[in-house]
Amino acid sequence: MLLLLIRHAVTDHVGLRLSGWASGVTLSARGRAQADALAERLRDVPLDAIYSSPLERTVDTAKALARGRGLRIKQRDEIGEVIYGDWEGRSLKTLVKQKLWRKVRAWPTDVRFPGGEALRETQARAIDAIEDIRAEHPKGTVAVVSHGDWIRLAMAHFLGVHMDLYQRVVIDPASVSIIQFHELGPLVRALNDTTDLAGIAGGKR
């Protein structure tokens, strides 16, 4: 099974504000162009299914990828963004001044966002979601459109990187990270890829 983990394309909040689960955060004009470019990059990659976080920015990115493929986007809450709780919607300039921000950078396994979830819980639901998708598509090629931290946490797990170091994994908007699963375990075939991916078309599953 080949799994493509795709971060949504850019919004006006990226780099400025912690969007979380806030509604109404859609792709910017640049983001829509990114999503179209992503779909073109993956045009020759055969997909058996497309899954998405239920948030607008991920669904819009998934729609661009699904266009012309005849696939229905399967939305799942467990693919959704970290539940940031009271931090949701706040500017990053404000949050970096918080004591908890320093702890997020230094010791994320011990962090629970106020009114939200612990990053350990986010990682656990990310892995559970991936395992469920693997069970549904044991020999397929599947795209999952999610969020930066969700993908970082998932990739840290499959790379064998301790969660306290997960922020060393860079996941850019509209990037693709690829994991190949077989009976001997997972292989990371791409990480934060923003280039032409036509070479994986027809590859091993």
Q: Mind listing the pLDDT tens digit for each residue in 90-113?
A: 999 999 999 999 999 999 999 999
Evaluate whether residue 203 is within a structural domain. no
* Percent over 90 (pLDDT), the chain: 89
Say what the pLDDT of residue 204 is: 41
Say what the pLDDT of residue 183 is: 86
Evaluate whether residue 204 is within a structural domain. no
Looking at the structure of the chain, the number of domains it has is: 1
Evaluate whether residue 201 is within a structural domain. no
Say what the pLDDT of residue 205 is: 40
Q: Determine the average pLDDT of the residues in 151-179.
A: 96
Assigned token pair, 32: 């829509």
Say what the pLDDT of residue 203 is: 46
Q: Determine the average pLDDT of the residues in 174-186.
A: 94
Give the CATH number, domain containing residue 39.
3.40.50.1240
Evaluate whether residue 107 is within a structural domain. yes
Q: What DSSP designation does 9 have? A: P
Q: Mind listing the pLDDT tens digit for each residue in 74-90?
A: 999 999 999 999 999 99
Q: Domain residues for 39?
A: 2-196
Distances in Å between the Cα of 24 and the Cα atoms of 12, 56, 59, 76, 95 are 11, 7, 12, 18, 21
Q: Determine the average pLDDT of the residues in 13-25.
A: 91
Question: H/E element holding 41?
Answer: helix 29-41
Evaluate whether residue 202 is within a structural domain. no
d(CA 21, CA 85): 9
Say what the pLDDT of residue 200 is: 55
Strand 176-182 vs strand 2-7: parallel, antiparallel, or unpaired? antiparallel
User: Quick one: pLDDT band at residue 7, thresholds 50, 70, 90?
Assistant: very high
Q: Determine the average pLDDT of the residues in 31-37.
A: 96
Q: What residues have CB less than 8 Å from 36, skipping those under 6 apart?
A: 64
